Amino acid sequence: MKKLFSNQVINIFLRGTTVLLKFILSVLVIKKLSIEEFGVFGLFQSTIIISTFILGFDFYNFTSREILKENAKSVSYYFINQLAFHLVVYILIVPLTFFVFISGIIHANYLWLFVLILISEHLSQELYRLLIILNKSVAATTLLFLRSGLWVLFLYFFWTQNILTVNINSILFLWLLGAISSVLLGFKFANLNTINKINFKWIIYGVKVSLPFFIGTILYKIIEFSGRYFLSFYHSETEVGVYTFFTSISNILFVFVQTIVIIELYPKLIKAKNNGQEEFFLMLRIFKKQIIQYSIIGIVLSIICIYPLLWFLDKTALFESVFAYLLLLVSTLFFCFSFISHYALYVNKKDFDILKATIISFIFNISLSFVLIPRFAVLGAALAQLSTFAIMFIIKSIYWEKQKLES
């Protein structure tokens, strides 16, 4: 019990520090560089994130289930087969990502850093997920801290001491070192053994099982980041920089709710479901109440803190678009609220309802982006995001109410 409590404290500390360092990275980059350069970094970052999920294909969902089932084979058997699948995906997909360089979305100078960061980030993410399944939560959170947080401290030190040039290349170089170190440590924590041969039938079956999860994940990621690409196409990197900064800051609200409520209560929601409907609905009410409470606390704190932060950064373009930030906060509020019905549906194995809600939201988001962003720039992107998450919240709520009537 004492060890469990100690692990929880370490996990909360590492997660909290990682979130804080991500925030510091946004502030540091936009303070030291121009908003336009921050926009370039934002496009690079979002392309890495989307590409990482494409490489993963959500295959971990299948592998996790296989590892946890009764009479399972060794962890090494499943994970190395999964890595064999990813190797094939690297060969097929990584060259396709060069389109973002050919089209000019990202400058060709960053090509080699993009490929190395992409592969390192993906491997680190898969190792993180594996360690979670193996109940090595502290090891998993340590990997997350290495690839997403610790290197920011080195960046700050090297920039302030004039050891590295203040530019995007130095950011990407340290990001790469952080990702590679997390991969090396991840393999050490996982302690994998070699296997005799690759089971291609198992891999093909896994692809079929993972496909619905993959579609939902990719559509959501496109919803999350589409505004940046629309702004880049119709306007300039300056608008991308403003929008990227405000979305990064507003997303802290979701991370706040996720860390305090969702991560803590989601496993209890599953356990309650297994113990019967009465206990499940009781836990769902607690889940709903806490999400609403902490979302409201988070949004109030976000509004209070934004003006001192903008004053510190002293960037006119940010002040001019502060209303867009307020819209993005409300957007994140709807997103947080949508997780009430999302997890209620998920626990009741209504994955297809969740997928349908995501598909409808995706179509709505892209359509609104075409209409609003060319005319209203950052404000249009914020309006499209707000409308999309409001629609997602409504649709998931309708599906959950329908499920309650059926059960």
Task: Identify the domain containing residue 371 by its residue range.
Answer: 236-407
Q: Are residues 185 and 246 in the same domain?
A: no
Domain contains 206:
no
Same domain, 31 and 105: yes
Only one residue has tokens 């994998």, namely 192
Regarding whether 375 and 253 lie in a shared domain, the answer is yes
pLDDT of res. 189: 94
pLDDT at 70: 59
118 and 12 co-located in one domain:
yes
178 and 258 in a common domain = no
Q: Give which of 24, 69, 37, 253 is closest to 165, Cα–Cα.
A: 37
388 assigned to some structural domain:
yes
- Cα atoms in the Cβ-side hemisphere of radius 13 Å centred on 398: 9
Q: Is residue 311 part of a domain?
A: yes
Same domain? 149 vs 268: no
Q: Specify whether 2 is located in the same domain as 131.
A: yes
In a domain, 384, yes or no: yes
Which pair of tokens denotes residue 379? 């404000």
Of 198, 225, 246, the domain-final residue: 198
Tokens describing residue 303: 């509004």
The answer on 301 and 348 residing in a single domain is: yes
Question: Which residue is it, tokens 């920089």?
Answer: 241
Q: What is the pLDDT along the chain (407 residues), one digit of tens a residue?
A: 555 557 778 888 888 898 889 889 999 999 888 899 999 999 999 999 999 999 999 998 889 888 877 566 788 999 999 999 999 999 999 999 888 899 888 998 999 999 999 999 999 999 999 998 888 888 999 999 999 999 999 999 999 898 988 899 999 999 999 999 999 999 999 988 888 789 999 999 999 989 988 998 999 999 999 999 999 999 999 999 999 999 999 998 888 888 788 877 877 887 788 788 888 899 899 999 999 999 999 999 999 999 999 999 988 899 999 999 999 999 999 999 999 999 899 888 888 899 999 999 999 999 999 999 999 999 999 999 999 999 999 999 999 999 887 76
**150 and 27, same structural domain?**
yes
pLDDT at 304: 92
Taking the C-alpha atoms of residue 298 and residue 119, their distance in angstroms, rounded to an integer, is 34
Q: What is the CA angle 164-165-168, rounded to 5? A: 110
CA angle at residue 144 from 141 to 145, to 5 degrees? 90
Q: Are residues 26 and 170 in the same domain?
A: yes
Whether residues 96 and 192 share a domain: the answer is yes
* pLDDT value of residue 7: 72
State the chain's maximal CA–CA distance in angstroms: 64
Q: How many domains does the chain have?
A: 2
Are 291 and 156 contained in the same domain? no
